[in-house]
């Protein structure tokens, strides 16, 4: 056997876990692994149909379906799904314990990467649908920045999810508690509405919520004519680095304990 | 060579900590097959898992350049994946690239035959256990780990499997954790005896067995 470089080993491990995961999750369905893409796509489409076609023209700068896509895809998939997937990564860790190449960290990283790539694919497919069916031009104004901020949301989801995963062995309730907070977060994270629609002083208060910033930054970079009154990449950056630091620290301290269960 | 340096291993239990190993230093030379001898609950499986890299020291390091198998017959198949996909999974993790060649070899060593594409959930445990060994042999490891006696199953091809294993032993080594030295005699030429919280290496298998018998008689 020839020796692999560390990066080649990591990629092999991630790919192997990815294949195993999509089989575990979807192989019982008729459409099989296609559900890996269909699952988030159907969810985002439901939101687009529920909220995007009510004929609300108040945005002015963007067609409603596109606004909903640019809000729900990052929030529900890139942030929320990454967080959830990472927070229960320890469930499958036990089944992979007998493979020396796999650590819990590989499972966490794999899940984050898979969710992000899935979200990108779903975004492209739905965007294409918008262009084809509705005649909307869905292409982000600054495409790389849009994807970049989507990526930061995934990293944030990975960080929070990892922290949750590392402490759920202390009390299972923590996972439950986190799930309960998802719903209110949806209302205060500038998902249904742009921050420009919120009057002061509430706008200032909501701006303390870190998740508002990537949502607004994505909007700014996706829509040519939208300019956010609050978006602050530096504030978001502090939160991101802080969360990632905390996540890696809790992981380092606790992974053996979590795996030992 | 496997070097165990300042190894300590303890578990959290309800009342405090259970110490399994304390400050163990060992060097296992390459090319010698080793039996880890210890009575039930002494930590022989823990030591095997530590060497195999699927359990982790509380303190200390285990250094090796050798390519190690999983504890044979402990492979966890993903039941929704086919035999072929499960083989590719471990092959990919182990850094093998010639999947076709490996699959062919597994076919000759097992009774999977043309059921390669069937999901593993349709196989019985008695079919999967020897398959484990067949996959490990096809992947060509430096070290084969066994938790308990080496079991070739009771299928019709067990002599083929045994012959292939014996041939592999000319170039590879085994490390097996057993509580009965007789189970290891056939393949092992050195031994590690677990004594209290320490593990002692014996370059001659029988010396280890003597030591094991003495420490067992004391208990």
Q: What ipTM, to 2 d.p.?
A: 0.85
pLDDT at site A78: 92
| Enclosing H/E stretch for B123 | none
Chain A: residues touching B (Cβ < 8 Å): 1-2, 4, 8-9, 12-13, 15-16, 19-20, 23-24, 27-28, 95-102, 256-257, 259-260
pLDDT at site A213: 93
**Structure tokens given for A105:** 């960290």
> Residue A32 has what DSSP assignment?
G
Percent of chain B at pLDDT > 70 equals 99
**Structure tokens given for A104:** 């819990």
Taking contacts as CB-CB distances below 8 angstroms, the residues of chain A near B49 are none
Taking contacts as CB-CB distances below 8 angstroms, the residues of chain B near A20 are 78, 81, 89
Residue of B53, B68, B92 with shortest CB distance to A16: B92
Render pLDDT for B111-131 as a digit per residue (tens, 0 to 9). Answer: 888 888 888 888 888 888 888
Residue of A9, A97, A259 with shortest CB distance to B95: A9
Render pLDDT for B68-92 as a digit per residue (tens, 0 to 9). Answer: 999 988 888 888 899 999 999 999 9
- Partners of B193 in the β-ladder: B37, B200
Taking contacts as CB-CB distances below 8 angstroms, the residues of chain A near B67 are 1
Q: How far is CA A249 from the centre of its chain?
A: 21
Go through chain B and tell me how many residues it has.
219
| Strand arrangement, sheet containing B59-64 | B17-28, B2-12, B59-64
- In degrees to the nearest 10, what's the CA dihedral of B52, B55, B58, B59? 20
Please report the DSSP string for A99-162 in residue order: -TT--HHHHHHHHHHHHHHHHHHHHHHHHHHIIIII------SSHHHHHHHHHHHHHHHHHHHH
Q: Which of A160, A88, A165, A81 is nearest to A117 (CA)?
A: A81
**Structure tokens given for A146:** 């849009």
Taking contacts as CB-CB distances below 8 angstroms, the residues of chain A near B11 are 260
Residue ranges and CATH numbers for the domains of chain B are 2-66+174-218 (3.40.50.300), 76-140 (no CATH)
For chain B, what is the mean pLDDT? 88
pLDDT at site B14: 81
Residue of A15, A28, A97 with shortest CB distance to B80: A28
Determine, for residues B80 and A13 on separate chains, whether the beta-carbon distance falls below 8 Å: no
Those of residues 28-57 in B touching chain A at CB distance below 8 A are 52-54, 56
Taking contacts as CB-CB distances below 8 angstroms, the residues of chain B near A13 are 93
Higher pLDDT, B219 or B164: B164
φ/ψ (deg, to 5) at A190: 55, 45
Q: Tens-digit pLDDT profile for chain A (261 aa)? A: 567 888 998 999 999 999 998 888 887 777 777 888 888 888 888 888 887 676 555 566 778 888 888 888 999 899 999 999 999 888 888 888 888 889 899 999 999 999 999 999 999 998 998 899 888 888 888 999 999 999 999 999 999 999 999 988 888 788 788 888 888 888 888 888 888 888 888 888 888 999 999 999 999 999 888 888 888 999 999 999 999 999 999 999 988 888 876
What is the arithmetic mean of pLDDT over B195-217? Answer: 86
Q: Which of A5, A11, A9, A33 is nearest to A21 (CA)?
A: A33
pLDDT at site A45: 83
d(CA B32, CA B187) in angstroms, rounded, equals 10
Interface test with B, best of A1, A4, A7, A25 (most B CBs within 10 A): A1
CA distances from A238 to A154, A161, B84, B111 (A): 15, 18, 46, 58
d(CA A242, CA B1) in angstroms, rounded, equals 42
B63 CB-near residues (< 8 Å, 6+ apart) = B2, B3, B5
pLDDT at site B192: 92
């Amino acid at each position: 056997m020839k020796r692999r470089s560390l990066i080649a080993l990591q990629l092999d491990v991630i790919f192997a876990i990815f294949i195993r995961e999509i089989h575990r999750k979807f192989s019982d369905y008729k459409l099989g692994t296609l559900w890996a893409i269909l699952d988030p796509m159907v969810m985002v489409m439901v939101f687009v149909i529920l909220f995007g076609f009510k004929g609300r023209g108040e945005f002015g700068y963007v067609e409603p379906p596109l606004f909903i896509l640019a809000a729900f895809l990052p929030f529900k998939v890139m942030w929320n799904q990454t967080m959830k997937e990472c927070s229960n990564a320890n469930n499958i860790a036990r089944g992979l314990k007998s493979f020396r190449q796999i650590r819990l960290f590989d499972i966490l990283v794999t899940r984050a990467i898979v969710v992000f790539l899935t979200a990108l694919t779903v975004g492209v497919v739905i965007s294409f649908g918008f262009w084809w069916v509705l005649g909307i031009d869905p292409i982000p104004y600054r495409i790389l920045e849009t994807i970049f901020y989507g990526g930061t949301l995934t990293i944030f989801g990975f960080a929070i999810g990892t922290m949750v995963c590392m402490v759920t062995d202390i009390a299972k309730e923590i996972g439950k508690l986190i799930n309960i907070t998802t719903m209110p977060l949806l209302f205060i994270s500038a998902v249904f509405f742009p921050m420009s629609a919120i009057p002061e002083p509430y706008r200032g208060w909501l701006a303390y919520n870190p998740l508002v910033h990537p949502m607004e930054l994505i909007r700014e970079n996706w829509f040519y004519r939208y300019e956010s009154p609050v978006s602050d990449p530096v504030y978001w950056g502090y939160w991101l680095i802080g969360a990632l630091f905390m996540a890696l620290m809790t992981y380092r301290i606790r992974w053996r304990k979590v795996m030992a269960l | 060579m496997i070097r165990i340096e300042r190894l300590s291993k303890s578990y959290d239990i309800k009342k405090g900590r259970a110490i399994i190993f304390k400050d163990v230093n060992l060097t296992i030379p390459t090319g010698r097959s080793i039996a880890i001898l210890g009575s039930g609950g002494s930590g022989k499986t823990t030591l095997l898992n530590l060497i195999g890299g699927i359990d982790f020291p509380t303190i200390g390091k285990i250094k090796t350049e050798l390519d190690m198998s999983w504890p044979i017959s402990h492979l966890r198949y993903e039941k929704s994946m086919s035999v072929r996909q499960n083989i590719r999974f471990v092959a990919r993790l182990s850094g093998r690239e010639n999947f076709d060649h490996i699959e062919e070899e597994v076919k000759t060593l097992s009774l999977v035959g043309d059921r390669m594409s069937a999901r593993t959930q349709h196989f019985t445990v008695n079919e999967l256990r020897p398959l484990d060994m067949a996959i490990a042999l096809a992947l060509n490891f430096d070290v084969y780990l066994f938790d308990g006696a080496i079991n070739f199953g009771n299928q019709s091809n067990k002599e083929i499997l045994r012959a292939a294993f014996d041939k592999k032993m000319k170039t590879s080594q085994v490390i097996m954790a057993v509580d009965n030295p007789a189970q290891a005699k056939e393949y092992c030429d050195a031994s590690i005896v677990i004594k209290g919280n320490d593990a002692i290496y014996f370059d001659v298998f029988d010396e280890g067995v003597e030591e094991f018998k003495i420490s067992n008689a004391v208990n």
